[in-house]
Structures are given as C-alpha cells and as structure tokens.
Amino acid sequence: METLIVVLFVFGYLAITLEHSLKVDKLIPALAMMALMWAIISLAHLPVFEVNTELKQLTPSHIDEILLHHLGKTAEIIFFLLGAMTIVEIIDYFNGFFTIKNFIKTKRKKGLLWIFSILAFVLSAIIDNLTATIVLITILQKVIHERETRLWFAGIIIVAANAGGAWSPIGDVTTTMLWIGNKVTTLSLISYVLIPSIVCLVIPVVIATFLPAFKGEIKSIEEDSSIEIHKRGSTMLYIGLSSIVFVPIFKTLTHLPPYVGMLLSLAIVATFAEIFSKAKISITSIDEEHDAHQTSSPVHRSLSKIELPSILFFLGILLAVGALESLGMLFNFAEGLNKAIPNTDIVIALLGIGSAVIDNVPLVAASMGMFSVVTDDPIWHLIAYSAGTGGSMLIIGSAAGVVAMGMEKIDFFWYFKKIAWLAFLGFIGGFGVFILLREIL
C-alpha cells in the first residue's frame, strides 16, 4: 500500500509539472492525489507518525489527529495568502501600482534595467515575487514598445523578483511556508539570505548591462490615458505596503501566528478602502438583494479576483506531502540521503536546481519533513535561498516565470538561451556568498 501511495504521488506530481502540456489545471491532480493518498492510509489502517524535531525521531499518532495537524498548518498558510492577495487586489483596485511609474524618468536602457531590477527586488520582498512580476511587466508594457527589448527586461525582472522574494518571510510562498512553520525567524532569515540574494541579483544585472540588448535608449515612453488613476491611488499603495510589512513586526511583538497579523492588516486596509470609495458595505454580507450595491465595494471586488485555484493547489499539495511525512517516508528518505550524500550543502544545491524543473512548493514542503533541525538552523536559510532563486534558471521554474511567460508570450527556449545562464551565475554566486557568510555568522 505504501508503494501505491508513492506511485500516486509521483504520477500526481508529474501531472502538475506537465500542466501546460496536458492543459489540465494543476489543482486537479493536487487535490485528487491528496484525497486518494489519505483514503488509502485510512482504508489500509497504515500506521501514521508525527516527527519529533527535538528528539529527531518518529512518534506514533492517530490519523484524525495527524490529519487535523496538517490541515491546521496548511490553513495558516492559506489564510495568510488570502489576506495578502486581497490587500494587493485592493491596491490594484485604486490603480495604486501605477504610482511606481513616476519613478521611471530615464530613457536609457541601462538605467531602466537597474530601475526595474531594483523595483522587482524590493517589491517582491513586500508583495511577493508573483505579484511584483505582474505589476512590473504591466508597467513595462506601457513604457517599452519594442517586443524583443521588452522580453529581455521581462527575463531580468523574473530573476530579480525571485531573488527579492527569497530573503523576505512574505516574499515567496516557500519562505512563507518556512516562516509559518517556525523553521526561520524574520531577522535571522534576513541576516543570512539578504546579501546572497543581492549577489544573485547584481551578477546577472551587471553582466546584462554589457549585452547588446541593453545598449542605447528606448524610442519613447508611452503615456496611456486609458488608465484612470484614482486620487487616493498612491495613498492606498503606501497604506497597503506598510500593512504587509507590519505583519512580521506583529508576529515578533505578539508571538501569534503570521496569519493573525495579515488578517488584521487586511481589516485596516479594507477600512481605508471603504472610506476612500465612499461605499458602505458589510464585508460579510451575502444577501442577493444587494448584489448590485456590493459590486461598488473595493473589498468585494478584490475578494472576487482572488486566485482560488492557486489556494486549492496549495491545499492539495501540502496535505499530499503531509501524507508522506505522516508515514515516515520523508524522514527515512532524508536519513538515506544523508548517508548517500553526507554534504548537506550539495543536497540543498540540487534542491535549488531541481526547483527550476519542478514546483518548489512541494520541494520545500518535503524538505520541511526531511530535516529535523532547530529553528533558524542555516539549513533552513539555505533552503529558502535555493528554492527561491533556483527557479529562475527555467521560465517554468517559478510562479513569476510562468506568469511572465503568459503575459509576454515568452518562448521556453528563448528564455533558456538568453536568460538561464545569467540566472545560473547569479544562483551560484549567491550560494557561494551564503556559504562564506555562514562561517562568519
């Protein structure tokens, strides 16, 4: 039965990886394999365990308890993401992100390269790398006409956004998972991963400045009059970004799970949004008689635009990995891996390279069940860096890459030939710097 569970996971994982080829949304195999794996565990009465990180051993448990445990951990991540996504959508409702366009004053390609790279790096650390990529490519389309030039910029934005998301607990789903799972703390994550992430950004950008694609100036900056800028747009941008940055501070002060702080931030941002839009809507109202009135509420509009397929995917994949962890498979696999490859750095480097091929969410979820080390052990920080930045090496290796691929119709092989080597050099450079810093810190 355990072999059947592994086969189910492998085929489900394969279906997720081949999402674009199969034209089947990845949430479907994720949910299906999760439900079937737990069903087999229940029907076959397989023994389940909880990993005791202090004793570094497996403790017997009951299926109801262990499933509730994994559901609770997954729910923390999901509600955190729901809060963050809604805040971002509220900012977008007021066209707040177009305030960023005011920072773009130059027509020189090298200057624009640094501006977009730095914006991607900083924004992704606050609003996550996926959203930062969407925002900046949207602005890029308004600034640069030439498609070939725009593709090069989009490629560098992907690298910069992934590098920026790796050092922040709210910058990437995988770092958020490690943070919520009490594997890393905010200050320690930043102190270990920030400098390697900067190196991971700077190396590709510096090299790119010498490439022909970034020589000269762009033809003209297009002023799009069709975008209606709300008078409170910039205010909502600053309120929204500040509220997200407040979440790690709230966790440090109260020691409560991060989703509590994120939902408080959502309540604050929603309050300002309702005041600025002059709408008097109850967020919890579902009365059909008021449907017409509800559509005028920025909160309701924002909630309706949340990507529920992504949320369901996280639910499925995290509970599926939880099933493998509960059977003790990940723990035993980690022990076998450590015997085969005693050097943990090599294992994590391979994990980073692997994240360019397959989804980094299940990779990190699996690693959380593999390594039984204390909070803020350098292993967790290296995993955060590797999984976050390794995905830049292929366009399908990160959520930022996939969304950019869709927005700009970037060809897989074009990215592989033009951008992959830059991303690889950045990844290796940052990885080396991390190893050096670890010895110092």
Give the tens place of pLDDT for each residue, 176-210: 889 988 899 999 999 999 999 999 999 999 999 99
DSSP string, 226-288: TS---TTHHHHHHHHHHHHHHHHHHHHHH---HHHHHHHHHHHHHHHHHHHHT----TT---G
Composition of the chain by helix, strand, coil, percent to 5? 75, 5, 20
**What b/e sequence results for 108-137 when a residue is b if at least 16 CB atoms lie within 10 Å of its CB, and e otherwise?**
ebbebbbbbbebbbbbbbbbbbbbbbbbbb
Residue 118's Cβ-side half-sphere holds a number of Cα atoms within 13 Å equal to: 10
Question: What does pTM read for this prediction?
Answer: 0.77
| Average pLDDT for the chain | 84
Per-residue pLDDT, 281: 45
**Residue 258 pLDDT more than 90?**
no
Higher model confidence: residue 424 or residue 228? 424
Q: How far lies 307's CA from each of 45, 88, 295, 311, in Å?
A: 36, 12, 18, 7
**Residue 12 pLDDT more than 90?**
no
Per-residue pLDDT, 223: 54
d(CA 128, CA 164): 8
Per-residue pLDDT, 296: 63
